[in-house]
Structure 1
Amino acid sequence: MPTSSYFTILSNSCLVLLFQAFFISIAASSDRHTPENHIRTRAGAPFKVALFADLHFGENAWTDWGPKQDVNSIKVMSSVLDTETPDFVVYLGDVVTANNIPIANASLYWDQAISPTRSRGIPWASVFGNHDDAPFEWPMEWFAASGIPQLVCPVLNSVSLSGEECSFRGTSRLELMKNEMDNNVLSLSKSGPQDLWPGISNYVLQVLSKEKPHTPLVYLYFLDSGGGTYPEVISTAQADWFKRISEEINPDSRVPELIFWHIPSKAYKKVAPKFRIHKPCVGSINKEKVAAQEAEMGIMKILVKRPSVKAVFVGHNHGLDWCCPYGQLWLCFARHTGYGGYGNWARGSRILEINERPFSISSWIRMEDGSVHSEVILS
């Protein structure tokens, strides 16, 4: 090959590479504020979300009662999913009762909890509650004359077991999230920025319009409200992270934003109905006091100043299912979904429905028996 031809080909190749690098850099620049994970709406249909709160899988796992409750919880979720056919599911914390699980790998119970959603091919995301990575608490029943049953903790000279696997140290948030992300293609959960650890479930998803594929319909923010292995708070660092990210991806507050975490903030105490639920609040049960986070570190001040934030959704209190206005946004409880956990109130799920044209966000509670109540317009 003549030298001049060789250099011509080389020059052309370099130009191609330069153009590719140029366009890649433009694409990266234009997408740098876009959340990596997204969900798309169905054409001509509203976007519907089911909230599953306080499932408490694995509770009292050493008794007959415990496993039966997990079966009942699956029935609740299956009923809601088959009736509502949502586009997306949010697991709103306390998916498992880790301090009741007598195995090192609580992910086995976590997998059971998400199985109704996964089996129906519905994408989901999760946040952590105060029970999800709590240390194991030894039940008094095990301190009988016979000692610890071999079924619970096999002998340590087993080929497949070690002392560490029988230490009941619990499964960390990071391990639980890694297992969910690695083994489920439908999971949109994230382990969040490392500088916010030990808070793990801090991330944002965007819901994209099917009709306008590059236009976000709504942003969904997930925050780890602590509990279990560290204090029940949304830290100043998390609040700053939300402020920075929301201003980057939604600088003019044009796109509506919905917020999800597990333990209610102290603001919930300010708006809580005193006895009966009365307007402007909407709900059906008000059977206990709000069990709020240990401290308020700035997240609510940021949220109330953003007109794009329409509502915050929490679990934690099994005997509350109301929504109350707080300034221009709504503070809402989900409905206790799982048969694990305290309280005998009927189980159900809070449903969100987002319509594109005209834009609106509405919510109601779908009960296990199929009934509906507490309908409210949130935007």
Structure 2
Amino acid sequence: MHMSTQWTLICLSLILTVRSADLHGAAQSTVPLCTTSPEDNLRMLAGARFKIALFADLHFGEDAWTEWGPQQDLNSVRVMSTVLDKEQPDFVIYLGDVITANNIMIKNASFYWDQAVSPTRARGIPWSSVFGNHDDAPFEWPMEWFSVTGIPQIDCPASTATYSGDKECSFRGTTRLELMKGEIQQNTLSYSKQGPQNLWPSVSNYVLKLSSPNDSQKAMVYMYFFDSGGGSYPEVISSAQVKWFQQKSEELNPDSSVPEVIFWHIPSKAYKKVAPKFSIHWKCVGSIFLERVAAQKAEMGIMKVLEERPSVKAVFVGHNHGLDWCCPYKNMWLCFARHTGYGGYGNWPRGARILEINQQPFSLKTWIRMEDGEHRSTTLLHPSRCGHHRKPPQP
């Protein structure tokens, strides 16, 4: 059987059989048409816009030895399910801090990673992921374990598709490589990649092509994914990653004629330059401006390269739970996602950023879908009035 025919049958089978599941049970769900191909190439549907949901800072696996922790994971599944059912996206991006490894005491943290991607997988929607600073952070021993109450009785999870089921707990942690390998091997809908080995310890560095509905070889958009560090190594996009992007973008898009959109977890220092000051939001668009930007530890040149490349239209990050704005910067936009998970700090209402790509004429539109279904902060990123015609806010 021809590979493309075989993949089509797999997609059709997923569409016919998929059921949307949460951690309590399952319910029937409608899913979008399958837009994937075996060449790791996403295809736009003729006459349709390509919609992406960004799930940031889910933080599955926090305080698993308490009643609070597992309940937060259930709440996070509910938020994702609401967004997926309201928006019916064609693709999902897990934008880092999928899990809180510094709270996870089992041998294989893929157990929690598997829970986090379950609402997307259950609806037959393809996805990809990048790593955040908590995804492979070392275990932090709670001091109360060593008080009078002692170390609690810990129940290790039962066997799942990505967890061996060994009842012995472990505080060793699960590396980025192990997490990525588990996701890729156990999920046919995952478009995540490990990236070039010479960029190690940085792992989730890769590019996906969104191609024309009429020609799979014709790129409409290139989506670049970066590992911005944290956890097992410093919070930085290295000079090696910058060089990789320069080489890859010149190879794929030498004349910068195809738009490029960038995704990573920890904001660059450029985000601090455009951050709204003293509640004056200037020309930024968002609904939550309640923190200072927590940027990467150092700037190794990635922003300079992006600024000089006219095809780069927007950068999307997570990390700051109290920010969800988009601000114009140079000839691009810098955007935060929305804190999606109930794990992690902050009690602000949860939601997800949606990105919509239109083919002809090309445009980028984004908004926030909240956990209660509310739609807010819609803005057109490209074509935009910022570009060459507006100056970014001054620091």
TM range (shorter): 0.7 to 0.9
- Structure 1 Cα separation of the partners of residues 342 and 188 of structure 2: 27
352, 375, 379: which one aligns with 1:376: 379
- Structure 2's unaligned 5+ residue stretches are 1-37, 158-164, 383-395
SS in 1 for 2:116: helix
Find the aligned partners of 1:150 and 1:316 in 2 and give their Cα distance.
Answer: 32
Counterparts of residues 250-269 of structure 1 (less than 5 Å): 250-269=253-272
Residues 1:146 and 1:289: Cα distance change in structure 2 (over 3 Å): closer
Aligned-pair CA distance for 1:277:
5.1
Match of 2:281, SS state, is: coil
Aligned equivalents of 2:39 and 2:173: distance in 1? 30
Largest Rg, 1 or 2: 1
Matches within 5 A, 1:204-353: 204-276=207-279, 278-353=281-356
Counterpart check, 1:194 vs 2:211: no
Higher helix share: 1
Residue number in structure 1 paired with 2:31 = none
Q: TM-score, normalised to structure 1's length? A: 0.86
Give the letter for the 1:365 counterpart: I
CA distance in 2, matches of 1:329, 1:36: 29
Corresponding letter in the other structure for 2:125: I
Structure 2 CA distance for aligned equivalents of residues 55 and 149 of structure 1: 25
Aligned to 2:160: none
Q: Percent identity?
A: 72
The CA deviation at 1:263 is 0.2
Taking only aligned residues, the RMSD between alpha carbons, in angstroms, comes to: 1.7
2:118 aligns to what SS in structure 1? helix
How many correspondences in the alignment?
338
8 Å CA contact 1:277, 1:284 repeated in 2 = no
**Which of 157, 168, 171 is the equivalent residue of 1:168?**
171
Change (3 A) 1:248 1:36: farther
Partner of 1:359: 362
TM-score scaled by length of structure 2:
0.83
- Which has the larger displacement, 142-151 or 107-116? 142-151
Partners of 1:324 and 1:336 in 2: how far apart? 17
> How far off its partner does 1:108 sit?
0.2
Please state whether the residue corresponding to 1:378 is helix, strand or coil.
strand
SS at match of 2:93: strand
Q: Distance in 1 between matches of 2:327 and 2:183?
A: 33
Q: Aligned-pair distance for 1:71?
A: 0.3
Report the Cα distance in structure 2 between the residues aligned to 1:290 and 1:275, rounded to whole angstroms. 13
Answering whether residue 85 of structure 2 is matched by residue 96 of structure 1, we say: no
Q: What is the CA-CA distance between 1:212 and the residue it aligns to?
A: 3.0
1:53 aligns with 2:53: no
- Spell out, residue by residue over 1:197-221, the C-alpha distance to the aligned partner (whole angstroms, 9 max, x if none): 1100000000011133321110000
Instruction: Give the Cα separation in 1 of the matches to 2:354 and 2:280.
Output: 19
Gaps of 5+ in 1: 1-34, 155-159
1:205 aligned partner, one-letter code: L
- Aligned 8 A contact 2:177 2:203 in 1: yes
